[in-house]
Amino acid sequence: MTEALATGTAGAVLAPDRSGARITARLLHSKATLFWAAVVLVVVLCAVLAPLIAPSDPLKGDIRDGLLGPSAHHWLGTDKLGRDVLSRVLYGARTALLSAVEAVGIAAVVGIPLGLLSGYLGGWTDRILMRIVEGVMSVPFLVLAIALISVLGPGLWKSMAVVGVVYAMTLVRLVRGEALAAREELYVDGVRVAGAGSGRIVFRHILPNITPPLIVQITLMIAGAIIAEATLSFLGLGAQAGDASWGSMLSDAQASIRESFFLALPPGFAILLTVLAFNQVGDGIRDLFAREAKAGSMGVNPVLKAAGQGEAPPAGVFVDDPVLSVRDLTVSFPQPGAGRVAVVQGMSLDVGRGEIVGLVGESGSGKSVTAMSLLGLVPDPGRVRAASIRLDGRDLAGLSFDELRKVRGGEIGVVFQEPIASLNPAYTVGDQVAEVLREHAGLSRAQARERVVSLFGQVHIPDPAARLGDYPHQFSGGMAQRVMIAMALASGPRLLVADEPTTALDVTVQGQVLDLLLELREQTGMSILVITHDLGVVADVADRVAVMYAGQLVECGPTEEVFRRPSHPYTEGLLTSLPRNVRRAGRLPSIPGVVPPPSAWAEGCRFAPRCAHARPECSAGPIELAAGGRDRAARCVRSHDLTLTGVRALAGEPSAAPLASVRIEKKP
Amino acid sequence: MTITTGDGTARDAELLRVRNLTVTFPGRRSAPWRRPGKVVAVNGLDLDLAGGETLGLVGESGSGKTTTARAILRLLRPSGGTIEAAGFTVGAFGRRVPLGYRRAVQAVFQDPLGSLDPTKVIGDILAEPLAVHFGLRGTERDRRVAALLEQVGLAGHHLRRYPYELSGGQRQRVSIARALAVEPKLIVLDEPVSALDVSVQSQVVNLLEDVQERTGVAYLFVAHDLAVVRHACDRIAVMYRSRIVEEGPADRICESPAHPYTEALLAAVPDPDPARQRIQRRRRRELGAPAPTGAVPATGCPFASRCPHRMPVCTESFPDWTPVTGGGRVACHLHGGSPTTPEET
Ligand SMILES: Nc1ncnc2c1ncn2[C@@H]1O[C@H](COP(=O)(O)OP(=O)(O)OP(=O)(O)O)[C@@H](O)[C@H]1O
Ligand SMILES: Nc1ncnc2c1ncn2[C@@H]1O[C@H](COP(=O)(O)OP(=O)(O)OP(=O)(O)O)[C@@H](O)[C@H]1O
Ligand code: SF4
Ligand code: SF4
Ligand SMILES: [Mg+2]
Ligand SMILES: [Mg+2]
C-alpha cells in the first residue's frame, strides 16, 4: 500500500502535462482499444455503405427461395421469405446505429443542459429536477417504454425517442454530479470574478472541463441503445415486421426456429460484436482518462548500474562516515520535441551519519527526481543510471525492484510534501502505519498497534491511542505530516528522505515539524535528507547544504559557511531573494528569468543566462564541480575571483535576546 | 475617516470599508439526528483600505483569511456586517453581481494552476474579461491582450499555450494580467506568492509594486508569511481564529509587535542566517504551542489557550481595542489605558 501511495504522489508531483495530444498518443498505444475502435469503424462503414455493398434488396425476396443455407449466391443464406440474410444484417446495422444516434442525441440535447443547470444553479431548480429524474428512473426502463409506446403507438422512431428520454435522465444525473464538483473549482471563481455570467461559465468553462466523462458515458450509451433497439424490435415495439433490424431478424428466426437453427446466428453475432465493441471502446477511453489523472505513473524503474566508477567527485562532496553516498547519478526523461534528455546529470552527494543535509534549488532543478532515484521510485519513462548508490556500504544500484522495496520503507523512510494526499482516505491512520510495521517488521496485529501508539507519541500527536481510529481527513495538515513521519519512522530507518515536508504547511506549523525532525535526529541518530526550496528551512535544520540548479549540483558545503560566503552566484541569488524580517531598501532582489526546460540546458554554465557575473568563458564548455577548501565545492569558473554576498552576520555577538518581542505595558 | 498608512501619511480616499463582517458555515453534525453546529469563520471583522494602498492580512491556516477575501469578492454571502467597496454596497447585491463591481474589484488566487481554466489557452483567458466588460473583439482585443502580456513580462508566444505548459510564476503573471485587464481599483490577492519559488516570489512582488505605481490600484494581500507581507504591504492586519487581533504599519508590526500572537508568528519565520536562526528557533519553541482544535471559546481572548502572558482576565472578557504607539491598534489585555510605549518593560 505504501508502495502505491508513494508512486502515486511521485507521479502527481512530477506530472509534466496532460493535453489532448497525450491522450491520443496513449490511445494509439493501447492495442486492445484500437482493435475495438476498428470494429466500431467497420460497423459504421457497413451501415453507411449498405446500399452499395449489400448484394440484394433486404426487403424483397422470393418466397420460393426461402430458408436456403449459405451459398455462393447468398453468403449467409435466406430467411423464410427468401430475403438475403447478409443484406438484412448490413441494413440492420443502419437501423441499429440510426436508432442509437436518435436516442443518444435526444439524451444529450435534453440531458446535458438540464444537468449543467441543475448542478450549477443548485437550490430549487436542482431539487425539482432531481425529483423528476428520480421518478422517471424508479420505473423499470422496459415497463416505461412499453407503457409510453402503448400510448404513442408502435414505431421505431417513437420507441427510440422514449429510450432517449430515459437516457436523458441518466445524463442529467451524471452531468449534474460533475457540474456540482466543477462549481467548487477555483477556476470557476476565477472566471466569475472576471465578470462572466452563469451561461458563459456553464457552457464555455464547465462543459469543456467535463467532456472526458461525458464521452465515456455516451459511448457506453450507444451500446445500450443498440440493445434497446434490438429488444424493442424483437418484441415488435420497434422496427415493424419486415424492416431490416437485428431485433426483428431475431424474432423472424425464432418463428422459423424449427426449420432452421442458423438464422439466429448472423443478427445475434452482429449485436454481440457491436455492443461489445462500443463497450470496450468506452472502457478503454475511461481507462485512459483515469490513467491520465494519475499522470501515467504505471510503473517505476530501478536504478541501472553505470559502467565504470564514474569520475571521482571533488573533495568538498565527501564526508568521512557516510550513511548514503551517491556517485554520478544521471536520470533522463523523454522531453516534448527533444528526445531523451538528462534532467539530473552527474549528481554526487554524501549524507553523513546523524547528519541533516538540505537539498535546495528552484522548481524543476531535479531535487525530487534525485530523491526518487535513491528509492528506486522514478516513474516509468524515466531512466536512472548511477556509478553507485551506497547505503551503509551496500550498493543499491543494480538491485531489483523487490530488493529495493525492502530497503525503502525499511532502511530508508520517506516523507512527501502533501501529507493528506499521501495518506489513503479509505483507511484509518492507525491501520496505515500498522500495515507498514506488519509488512516490514512482521509484527502481529496487537504488537503493531502498541508500536503505532508509541510512534504517535514520539511525533507528539496528542492522545495517540484515541487518534488511531481517525481517518486522514480528520487531521490538520501539520498533524497529518506527523502521521507521515511516524509511518516513515516505523521501521527504524537509518536515513529519512523528506521531500518538501513543510511546503504545504503554514509557518507556525512548519516550525513545529522542523523541531520534530531535529528532535528525532537527536533521539535516534538517523540521518535526514531534507529537500526544500526555502533557505530558511535549510538554515534552521541542515548541517550541510547541497544546491542544485538545472539538474546539476552547483554548490555544496556546511550550511553556515555557504550561507555566510557563497561561492556560486546561484546560491547568492537564492539567498538575497529570500524575504527576511528586516527593514527593506528599494526593490526586492530576485534572480531574473526562470529555470529553462531541460531540453534547453546549455553546454557551458547552465546558469549563465541568469547570472550577473557571466563572462564569455562561462559558456565555452562544460564546467566541473571543483573543490574550494576542505569541505566545500562549487561549479563556477569564477568562484575564486568573485566576492559574493551571503547573509549578513549579526552585528556583535548573538545574544539570547528575542528578535522582536511584544512590548508589554500592564494596565494601570 | 482618515487612514494612517505605512509612511505615516494620511489618506482620505476610502476604497474598501468592512464593518463587523461575520461569516458562519454549517459545521459537522455531532450525530446524524442532531442539527449541524456552526463554524464561525470570520467574526466581527473591520477593515479599511485606501486607494493605492496595500493592506496585508496574515494569520495561520484556518484563521479566516480566504473567507474574508471571498466575502469581499461576493463569492459567498456573509451572515452579518457590511462591506462597501469602490462605491458599491456589497450587501445589496442580488444573485447577479453588477458588472461595475466586477470591474472595480478583481482577484488573484493562491493556486496559479487551479484558478485558470485548463481547457483554455492564455490568449482566450485574457480575452474573456475584455469581451465581457468592453465587448471588444478582433484586432482591437488582440492588441489589448498583447499589451497586458507585456505589462506582466510575458511574451507573445505564450498566447497559444495552455496553463499547464507554463511555470508557476508565469501562471501567476497570467492571473495578474487577467485581473489588470479591466483596470480595477482593488485587487484581492489570496496568497499570490505562497506556491512560488523564493526567487520568483520577489519577481512577482516587484511586479505588483510596479503595477501599483503605474495604475494606482490598491491591494488586499492575504498571506501567512509575515516576512513576505512586510515587504509587500504598507499596513498589516493580523488574524487569529476568525478575529483581527492587531493591525498597524508593516514595519511597526514586524519590529515591535504588540500582540503575543503576532510575536509567535514572527518567531516562526525562519531566517537564512543560521546564527540568527538559532536564536529564532529558541524563541519559536517558547512561543509555538500547537494550535488548539475545536470551537473558539465563546468568551475571552481566542489566543488564551496558547498565550505565555495569559492572565485571569483573559478568559473572562474579550480585550478592547487599544491604540499602539507607532501606529495601529491591538486587542490584548496586556495593553490598556494609555497608548503603550515602544520600550520593553
Ligand atoms: N515523469 C516525468 N516525465 C518527464 N519529465 C519529468 C518527469 N518527472 C520529472 N521530470 C522533469 O525533471 C525535471 C526535474 O523535476 P523535479 O521534480 O525533480 O524538480 P524539483 O527540483 O523537485 O522541483 P519542485 O520544486 O517543483 O518539486 C523537470 O524539468 C521535470 O520536467
Ligand atoms: N465552505 C466551507 N464550509 C465549511 N467550513 C468552511 C468552509 N470554508 C472555510 N471553512 C472553515 O472556515 C475557517 C476559515 O477558513 P479559511 O479558508 O478562510 O482560512 P484561511 O485563513 O484562508 O486558511 P489557509 O491559510 O489554510 O488558506 C476554517 O476553519 C475552515 O474550516
Ligand atoms: S560560471 Fe560564469 S555564468 Fe556560471 S555561475 Fe559562474 S560566473 Fe556565473
Ligand atoms: S488577551 Fe491575554 S491571553 Fe490574549 S493575547 Fe493578550 S495576554 Fe494573551
Ligand atoms: Mg520536487
Ligand atoms: Mg486561505
Structural domains for chain A:
27-58+85-293 (1.10.3720.10), 304-411+491-651 (3.40.50.300)
Predicted confidence at residue A2, as pLDDT, reads 36
Which atom number of ligand 2 is nearest to the Cα of residue B76?
A: 1
Q: From the CB of B25, is ligand 2 less than 6 Å away?
A: yes
Predicted local distance difference test score (pLDDT) of residue B294: 64
Q: Which of B235, B171, B181, B178 is nearest to B203 (CA)?
A: B171
Rounded distance between C-alpha atoms, residue A111 and residue A89, angstroms: 32
User: Which CATH number belongs to the domain containing residue B195 in this structure?
Assistant: 3.40.50.300
What is the B110 CA–ligand 6 centroid distance (Å)? Answer: 8
Express each pLDDT in B176-188 by its tens digit: 999 999 999 999 9
Residues of chain B found within 8 Å of residue A17, distances taken between Cβ atoms: 162, 164-165
* Measured distance CA(B34)–CA(B55) in Å, rounded: 41
Atom of ligand 4 nearest to the CA of B308: 8
Q: What is the CA radius of gyration of chain B?
A: 21
ipTM greater than 0.90: no
Indicate the residue of B114, B129, B270 with minimum beta-carbon distance to A539. B270
- Whether B148 is covered by a domain: the verdict is yes
**Looking at the complex, does the CB of residue A190 fall below 8 Å from at least one CB of chain B?**
yes
Confidence (pLDDT) at A154: 75
Would the CA dihedral through B204, B205, B206, B208 be positive or negative?
positive
A9 closest CA partner among A1, A205, A446: A1
Mean pLDDT of B33-53: 87
Q: Return the pLDDT at A637.
A: 93
pLDDT, one tens digit per residue, over A536-559 is: 999 999 999 999 999 999 999 999
Q: Tell me the nearest-neighbour CA distance from A260 into chain B, angstroms.
A: 56
Task: Kindly tell me if the per-residue pLDDT of B227 is higher than 60.
Answer: yes
Question: Which residues constitute the domain of residue B97?
Answer: 14-344
Lowest-pLDDT choice from A256-265, B76-85, B253-262:
A256-265
- Grid cell 425464432 is found at A254
d(CA A345, CA A552): 6
**Ligand 3 pocket check: which of A570, A624, A637 to mutate, most ligand atoms within 8 Å of Cβ?**
A637
Confidence band, pLDDT 50/70/90 cuts, at residue A401: confident
Distance in Å, CA A602 to ligand 3 centroid: 12
Give the integer Cα–Cα distance in Å for A465 and A457: 9
Q: How much is the average pLDDT of A322-339? A: 87
Alpha-carbon distance of A482 to A461, in angstroms, equals: 7
In this complex, is the C-beta atom of A23 within 8 Å of any C-beta atom belonging to chain B?
no
For residue A425, pLDDT over 90 is answered with no
pLDDT, tens digit (0-9, with 9 covering 90-100), for A108-127: 999 999 999 999 888 888 89
Cell of A366: 531535479
The beta strand positions in chain B, using DSSP E, are 3-4, 10-11, 14-26, 38-50, 54-58, 80-85, 88-89, 105-108, 186-190, 218-223, 235-240, 243-249, 321-323, 329-331
Substitution candidate for ligand 2 out of B42, B67, B226, B243 with most atoms within 8 A of CB: B67
B306-342 pLDDT tens trace: 888 888 899 888 899 999 988 899 999 998 754 444 4
Choose from A23-27, A419-423, B40-44, B236-240 the range with maximum mean pLDDT. B236-240
Asked if the model's pLDDT at residue A296 lies above 50, the reply is: no
Q: Considering chain B, what percentage of its residues have pLDDT values greater than 90?
A: 48
Give the count of alpha carbons within 13 A of B112, CB side only. 27
**A388-391/A322-335 β-pairing:** antiparallel
Task: Name the DSSP class of A78.
Answer: B
- Cβ(A602) – ligand 3 distance below 6 Å: no
Percent of residues, chain B, with pLDDT higher than 70: 90
* Chain B, nearest residue to A647 by Cα: B273
Position A181 scores a pLDDT of 87
Q: What is the pLDDT of residue A616?
A: 92
Strands A394-395 and B88-89: unpaired
Ligand 2 pocket residue status of B72, Cβ below 6 Å? no
- For A207-249, write each residue's pLDDT tens digit: 988 888 898 899 999 999 999 888 888 888 777 766 788 988 8
Task: Looking at the complex, report in whole angstroms how far the Cα of residue B241 sits from the nearest Cα belonging to chain A.
Answer: 14
CB within 8 Å: B335 and A665: yes
| Within a domain: B316 | yes
Task: Among A343, A531, A594, say which to mutate for ligand 1: greatest number of ligand atoms within 8 Å of CB.
Answer: A343
Distance from CA of B186 to the nearest CA of A (A): 12
Alpha carbons within 13 angstroms on the beta-carbon side of residue A47 total: 20
Mean of all residue pLDDT scores within chain A = 83
Does A653 score more than 50 pLDDT? no
- Cβ of B64 less than 6 Å from ligand 2: yes
Residue of A nearest to B111 (CA): A186
Q: How many CB atoms lie within 10 A of CB A258?
A: 6
> What is the reported pLDDT for B288?
67
Angle, helices A20-29 vs A31-53, to 10°: value is 80
B123 lies in some domain:
yes
Which range in A654-668, B24-38, B154-168 is most confidently predicted, on average pLDDT? B154-168
- Please, where are the H alpha helices in A123-206? 123-138, 141-152, 156-183, 186-193, 198-200
* Cβ atoms A520, A458 nearer than 8 A: yes
Residue B1 included in any domain: no
Nearest CA-CA distance, residue A611 and chain B, Å: 13
Confidence of residue B129 (pLDDT cuts 50, 70, 90): very high
Predicted pLDDT at B343: 40
Provide the b/e sequence for B140-153 (b: ≥16 CB within 10 Å): ebbebbbebbebbb
pLDDT value for A538: 94
Give CA–CA dist A181/A190, Å, rounded: 15
Strands A544-549 and A356-360: parallel
| pLDDT of A664 over the 70 cut | no
**pLDDT of A398 strictly over 60:** yes
Q: Is the pLDDT of residue B291 over 90?
A: no
Structure confidence by residue, pLDDT tens digits, A351-370: 999 999 999 998 889 998 99
Q: What is the pTM of this model?
A: 0.83
Instruction: Classify residue B146: in a domain, yes or no.
Output: yes
Total domain count, chain B: 1
